Structure 1
Amino acid sequence: MKRYLGVVCLIVCSVLALAVAGTASAETLTVNAAINKAGRQRMLSQRMAKAYCQVGLGVEVERAKRILEQSVALFDKQLIDLQAFAPTPEIKNTYASLEQAWASYKKLLSGSDPKLENAMTIARMSEEVLKLAQQGTVQLERFSGTTTAKLINVAGRQRMLSQRIAKISMLRAWGITSPQLTQELDTAITEFTAAQELLTAAPQNTATIRSELQLAGSQWLFFKEALSQTGVSRAEQLRNIATTSERILQVMDDVTGMYERALK
């Protein structure tokens, strides 16, 4: 029971921390903060699809509904902030395109209770929104042109990969399978591992960042264990995937914020 309460507390703190992370106004946004927010949009594109599938599968339903609702609201707010901040016409165009893609995705996410017949469309739209959110993040990184911007981008992308891996796992559990989806899952796991090695070796790391990256490494092991777990019911495995994906997300969100604040 204590362990369960600990997991619940951690996930609640995760949701609150991510909500707080999106509260800085566009007027006070630095380029580092903009890169962080832009990268968080990538994560949210995948997290919302994951939560949608969780509700449809009956996995941590009430918590998944809260995650979905809060993620939609945070995406809306951050999109406004990023559109206001966009420093070049090219970046403004990216966020105009993202606004259009997001409108369709949001409508389906919020329109009705999750249904299997909509899951494929949700998966496709999550990819469209992810592509544009990635484009905006890279453009902002290039605009900054600093090593710090690169680290914020890479660390922030780990948040997305944690949710992408969980999203694909939920889709497969719902019966949506294909060789492409399997390849995407394998690629996301490989990319997460490689990026974590890059971050760990970064000479700019402070002692606090190094400690947090060690914690991320431990959480990553728990997450991978959940992905390949045997000897438990499917329902229990999916719960474990859901909770461990939230834990690694929170740690990497903290790391990204540390890069944003410490390496100016």
Structure 2
Amino acid sequence: MKKNIFTIKLTVTLFLLVIMLPATELIAQQSNTFGMLNFNKAVNVSGKQRMLSQKIAKAYLYIVENPSDVKAKRDLLTSKIIFEKQNNILLQNSGYKLTKDRIAKVESLWKEYKKLIETTPNYDNAKKLIEINTDLLKSTNNVVSAIILESKGANSSNADVMDDDSYGEDDTELKKIINISGRQRMLSQRLALYYFANQPTLKDKNSEQMLKNVYNELDGAISMLLISNFNNNRIDEKLGVAMSKWDQIKSRKSDLFNQKIKQADMYRLSNELTKAFNDVTNLYEKVKL
């Protein structure tokens, strides 16, 4: 009799474990973190991948014309290493199929990209980079979008969030502003990339318009940051630094479009502007709701 009771209890226990397993997996998948990272950090890191894709191409194009520039060579090497490491971190921490698939797509495109940038910089491969860099950029941007979507799913499954709709809305808006600010880092590098791509030795029919498009995108997004509800004194201060760096380029708009800025100056300014927007983005990442 006791044996039968034990058997029944064991059967019931196993049954409960089986039916609870899918729910446990669902909760794990909908955790309010991106693996070991919080979602703000994940949006920031994935956004950096966009920037690095452009910084790598920019450095390569610059070295073609300036083969003895040690800093540019170091930038190319370190950016390549960081890009690969961060892509692995994102892949290891994601629990969503959509995000993993998009990271895998980045990895696939990266293989061809990496082959080009590991060659001794030359005009033929520089032109190929100009042709394919946007594909890698779009793919990295798709990862950012997937992570933001993943964070929405995590928020909607969180009981505390369900009790306060405004929290979920604010959290989504915060991730949007982290994304916009992080995108400015990418545009800062992309501006220099197409400045170099617009030189006579590399220029094609699209180079000039691409340069203008990037300029307008970068300039247009600044106002969105300036009026953000998430701004505080520290963020306002760093935005002021970014604005001063941007004004150094904006005040020379005509020179920018007519190839009258020295290449070394353009290279330096793009890095300074990227750093300024990176400081802003890191502060947005740390905003507490």
| TM-score over 0.5 (shorter chain) | yes
Distance 1:224 1:239, change over 3 A: farther
Offset of 1:215 from its aligned partner? 1.0
Alignment deviations for residues 60-96 of structure 1 (CA, whole Å, 9 cap, x no partner): 7111000000000000110001111223111111011
Which amino acid in the other structure matches residue 108 of structure 1?
L
Deviates more, 1:140-149 or 1:182-191: 140-149
Residue 185 of structure 2 aligns with an amino acid whose one-letter code is R
Cα pair distance change 1:227/1:107, threshold 3 Å: farther
Q: 1:226 to 1:107 in 2, by over 3 A?
A: farther
What secondary structure, in the 3-state scheme, does the structure 2 residue paired with 1:28 have? coil
Once residues 227 and 173 of structure 1 are traced to their aligned partners in structure 2, the CA distance between those partners, rounded to angstroms, is: 16
Runs of 4+ in structure 1 over 6 Å off: none
Cα pair 1:94 1:135 within 8 Å, conserved: yes
- For the 8 Å contact 2:99–2:147, the answer to whether it is kept is yes
Identify unmatched segments of 5+ residues in structure 2.
Answer: 1-33, 153-171
Shift in Å at residue 178 of structure 1? 3.1
Q: Secondary structure at the match of 2:120?
A: coil
Matched-pair contact (CA < 8 Å) for 1:159–1:252:
yes
The equivalences for 1:207-218 within 5 A come to 207-218=233-244
RMSD of aligned Cα (Å): 2.0
1:148-159 aligned within 5 A = 148-159=174-185
Check if 1:99 corresponds to 2:107: yes
Unaligned runs of 5+ residues in structure 1 are 1-25
AA matched with 2:188: S
- Larger RCO (alpha carbons 8 Å, 6+ apart): 1
Correspondence list, 1:100-139, <5 A: 100-110=108-118, 112-139=119-146
Identity %: 30
Highest CA radius of gyration, 1 or 2? 2
Q: Please report how far the alpha carbon of residue 193 of structure 1 lies from its aligned counterpart in structure 2 after TM superposition.
A: 1.2
Cα offsets for 1:107-164 (capped at 9, x unmatched) = 1101x21000111111123111101001111121233241110011000000000110
Cα distance, 1:34 vs. partner?
A: 0.8
